[in-house]
């Protein structure tokens, strides 16, 4: 399944501080590929410790590694960490070792058959598996010497993993969350990965399983940050903000984690009720040439994720359900017509002012709707909108067909700010674009 795109902040990369003077001891050796493979099969070489990323190389890149070995080209050093229990953890070289071992086994970690592809020199080997190769080629692979540096068991464990973030020499660089997964390991890191595996949460993101680059985990961390710290305490860049959240929560007690878990579950459930598979997406209003609007269904907007999850975590479900239609209409309206809000989620969205703007606009809107129990109703109900749409899905302003009910706005004929009532006789359907383009004096 193709994974979602994510519109995220553009912060400058930060480096891990290695200024502390701590002890690191290493041993250097050369080990043949097949000897390493045997350690792996016996459980003495762990290529997927919990701080490592998932396997991300494609078949062509993995095949090029095999071709390089057949050509005798040196490949980068493999770094291991001795755990003191007879097991070696891979610190750097996971993608290379996984590719080699997968080729010998005949399948990739996801179950795909490993056939050589994209070769430039040994083109006659294209489409072949390890088992298909002549023994001369198998021997070249098995006997290829790997340069290995092992951190001994008495080395400082924290510094081992900090160094790991610096040893990322592959062409598929670690992203920020993959680095956090390495550096800030512990109960809290396990906790946010557990939350990210929630089926309803993955469904909102359009995923059937965990994201291969931990983008789902990073979103959970972002939720925890704003929920526990408040947007008022946010300072850019967002990368530093989230690193600090990881540091602060590394050893949270079970009571604190339980409260966060409950808030997260409530946020997911409420968001699902409010927007379903449109959660965290923008509704793009029409243009002067094409009045029909549409959902940007493929792109998760991180800024929308922040405000929705935070607000939905703070609303009790019975209260939400009483105002579900009004809140959904308000959400679609501000993401498609409120220019100040749109700017805050699309331009310089990591800026402190942008963060405060979008939280303030959405928060005040939610508060106003929830408090409307005893006030004069401003919004028409979803039931009434559906009735109008089924009767005649034509825009009363431009006279053109409205393609979807989400693109409908039930417009006050006599504008609300002029005293127009929210009653059927004062209602008409319009495109969101047309309603937005309507003159204040019209």
In this predicted model, what pLDDT tens digit does every residue of 294-308 receive, in sequence order? Answer: 999 888 999 999 999
CA distance 132 to 140: 14
Q: Could you tell me if 244 and 346 lie in one domain?
A: yes
| Structure confidence at residue 250 as a pLDDT band (50, 70, 90) | confident
- pLDDT at position 229 is 92
pLDDT over 70 at 2, yes or no: no
Neighbours of 7 (CB within 10 A): 18
pLDDT over 70 at 255, yes or no: yes
pLDDT over 90 at 117, yes or no: yes
User: Tens digit of pLDDT for each residue in 202-231?
Assistant: 999 999 888 988 999 999 999 999 999 999
Q: Could you tell me if 411 and 323 lie in one domain?
A: no
Can you tell me the mean pLDDT for 49-66?
82
Can you tell me the mean pLDDT for 316-327?
91
- pLDDT at position 314 is 95
CA distance 61 to 362: 45
Can you tell me the mean pLDDT for 263-287?
95
CA distance 197 to 422: 43
CA distance 65 to 72: 11
Question: Helix, strand, or coil here: 12?
Answer: coil
- pLDDT at position 237 is 87
Alpha carbon of 83 to those of 28, 86, 151, 160: distances in Å? 16, 7, 9, 11
Last residue of a domain, one of 107, 140, 155: 155
The answer to whether residue 442 sits within a structural domain is no
Burial readout 114-125 (b: 16 or more C-beta within 10 A, e: otherwise): bbbbebeebeeb
User: Tens digit of pLDDT for each residue in 22-40?
Assistant: 566 778 889 999 999 999 9
pLDDT over 60 at 1, yes or no: no
pLDDT over 70 at 130, yes or no: yes
Q: Could you tell me if 101 and 205 lie in one domain?
A: no
CA distance 310 to 333: 19
Q: What's the sign of the alpha-carbon dihedral 260, 263, 269, 270?
A: negative
- Return the structure tokens found at 383: 């039931």
User: Tens digit of pLDDT for each residue in 90-107?
Assistant: 888 889 999 999 999 999
Last residue of a domain, one of 320, 350, 374: 374
Alpha carbon of 193 to those of 221, 298, 332: distances in Å? 9, 23, 30
CA distance 47 to 309: 35
Can you tell me the mean pLDDT for 163-178?
63
Q: Could you tell me if 305 and 421 lie in one domain?
A: no
Question: Helix, strand, or coil here: 164?
Answer: helix
Q: Could you tell me if 219 and 360 lie in one domain?
A: yes
pLDDT over 80 at 126, yes or no: yes
CATH assignment at residue 405: 1.10.30.50
Number of domains in the chain: 3
Q: Provide, rounded to the nearest whole percent, the portion of the chain with pLDDT above 70.
A: 84
| DSSP H/E element including 146 | strand 145-151
- Report the DSSP pairing between strands 145-151 and 78-82: parallel
The answer to whether residue 178 sits within a structural domain is no
- pLDDT at position 357 is 96
Q: Could you tell me if 69 and 131 lie in one domain?
A: yes
pLDDT over 80 at 366, yes or no: yes
The answer to whether residue 135 sits within a structural domain is yes
The answer to whether residue 183 sits within a structural domain is no
| Structure confidence at residue 156 as a pLDDT band (50, 70, 90) | low
CA distance 313 to 316: 8
Can you tell me the mean pLDDT for 336-358?
93
Q: Dihedral of the CA atoms 360, 362, 364, 367 (nearest 10)?
A: -140
- pLDDT at position 419 is 60
pLDDT over 70 at 373, yes or no: no
- pLDDT at position 168 is 53
Residue 79: burial class (beta carbons within 10 Å; 0-12, 13-18, 19+): buried
The answer to whether residue 57 sits within a structural domain is yes
Can you tell me the mean pLDDT for 375-400?
80
Residue 314: burial class (beta carbons within 10 Å; 0-12, 13-18, 19+): middle
Q: Could you tell me if 367 and 395 lie in one domain?
A: no
CA distance 439 to 429: 16
The answer to whether residue 170 sits within a structural domain is no
Tracing tokens 């058959």 back to the chain, one arrives at: 113
- pLDDT at position 100 is 97
CA distance 340 to 411: 21
The answer to whether residue 180 sits within a structural domain is no
CA distance 177 to 48: 16
pLDDT over 60 at 343, yes or no: yes
Least confident stretch, 110-114, 117-121, 197-201, 380-384: 380-384
Q: Could you tell me if 362 and 400 lie in one domain?
A: no
Q: Could you tell me if 126 and 221 lie in one domain?
A: no
Q: Could you tell me if 211 and 321 lie in one domain?
A: yes
pLDDT over 70 at 3, yes or no: no
Residues linked to residue 201 through DSSP beta bridges, in sequence order:
none
Average pLDDT, the chain: 85
Q: Could you tell me if 127 and 109 lie in one domain?
A: yes
Domain that holds residue 34: 25-155
Give which of 276, 273, 286, 271 is closest to 408, Cα–Cα: 286
Last residue of a domain, one of 328, 356, 374: 374
CA distance 329 to 232: 26
The reply to whether omega before 237 is within 30° of 0 (cis) is yes
Q: Could you tell me if 274 and 390 lie in one domain?
A: no
The answer to whether residue 19 sits within a structural domain is no
User: DSSP secondary structure string, 84-119?
Assistant: SSS-EEEEE-HHHHHHHHHHHHTB-TTS-B----S-
Question: Helix, strand, or coil here: 410?
Answer: strand
Give which of 70, 69, 89 is closest to 79, Cα–Cα: 89
């Amino acid at each position: 399944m193709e994974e979602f795109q994510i519109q995220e902040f553009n912060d400058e990369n930060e480096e891990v501080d290695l200024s502390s003077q701590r002890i690191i001891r290493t041993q250097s050796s050369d080990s043949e590929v097949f000897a390493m493979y045997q350690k792996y099969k016996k459980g003495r070489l762990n290529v997927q410790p919990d701080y490592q990323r998932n396997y991300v190389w494609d078949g062509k890149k993995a095949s090029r590694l095999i071709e390089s070995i057949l050509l005798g080209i040196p490949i980068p050093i493999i770094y291991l960490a001795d755990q003191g229990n007879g097991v070696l953890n891979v610190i750097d070289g996971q993608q290379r070792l996984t590719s080699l071992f997968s080729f010998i086994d005949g399948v990739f970690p996801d179950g795909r058959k490993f056939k050589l592809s994209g070769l430039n020199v040994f083109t006659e080997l294209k489409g072949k598996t390890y088992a298909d190769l002549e023994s001369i080629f198998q021997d070249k692979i098995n006997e290829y010497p790997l340069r290995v540096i092992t951190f001994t068991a008495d080395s400082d464990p924290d510094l081992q993993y900090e160094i790991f973030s610096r040893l990322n020499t592959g062409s598929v660089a670690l992203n920020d969350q993959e680095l956090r997964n390495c550096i800030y390991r512990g109960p809290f890191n396990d906790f946010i990965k557990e939350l990210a595996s929630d089926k309803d949460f993955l469904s909102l993101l359009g995923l059937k399983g965990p994201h291969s680059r931990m983008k789902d985990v990073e979103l959970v961390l972002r939720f925890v940050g704003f929920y526990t710290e408040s947007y008022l305490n946010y300072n850019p860049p967002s990368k530093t903000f989230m690193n600090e959240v990881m540091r602060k929560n590394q050893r949270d007690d079970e009571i604190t984690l339980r409260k966060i878990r409950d808030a997260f579950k409530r946020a997911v459930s409420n968001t699902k009720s409010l927007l379903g598979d449109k959660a965290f997406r923008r509704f793009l209003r029409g243009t002067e040439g094409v009045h029909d609007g549409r959902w940007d269904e493929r792109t998760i907007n991180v800024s929308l994720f922040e405000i929705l999850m935070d607000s939905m975590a703070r609303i009790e479900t019975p209260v939400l359900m009483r105002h579900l239609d009004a809140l959904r209409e308000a959400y679609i309206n501000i993401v498609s017509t409120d220019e100040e809000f749109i700017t805050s989620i699309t331009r310089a969205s990591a800026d402190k002012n942008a963060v405060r703007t979008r939280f303030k606009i959405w928060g005040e809107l939610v508060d106003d709707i929830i408090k409307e129990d005893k006030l004069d109703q401003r919004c028409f109900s979803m039931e009434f909108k559906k009735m109008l749409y089924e009767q005649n899905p034509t825009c009363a302003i431009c006279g053109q067909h409205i393609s979807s009910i989400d693109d409908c706005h039930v417009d006050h004929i006599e504008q609300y700010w002029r005293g127009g009532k929210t009653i059927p006789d004062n209602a008409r359907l319009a495109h969101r674009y047309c309603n937005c383009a309507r003159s204040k004096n019209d």
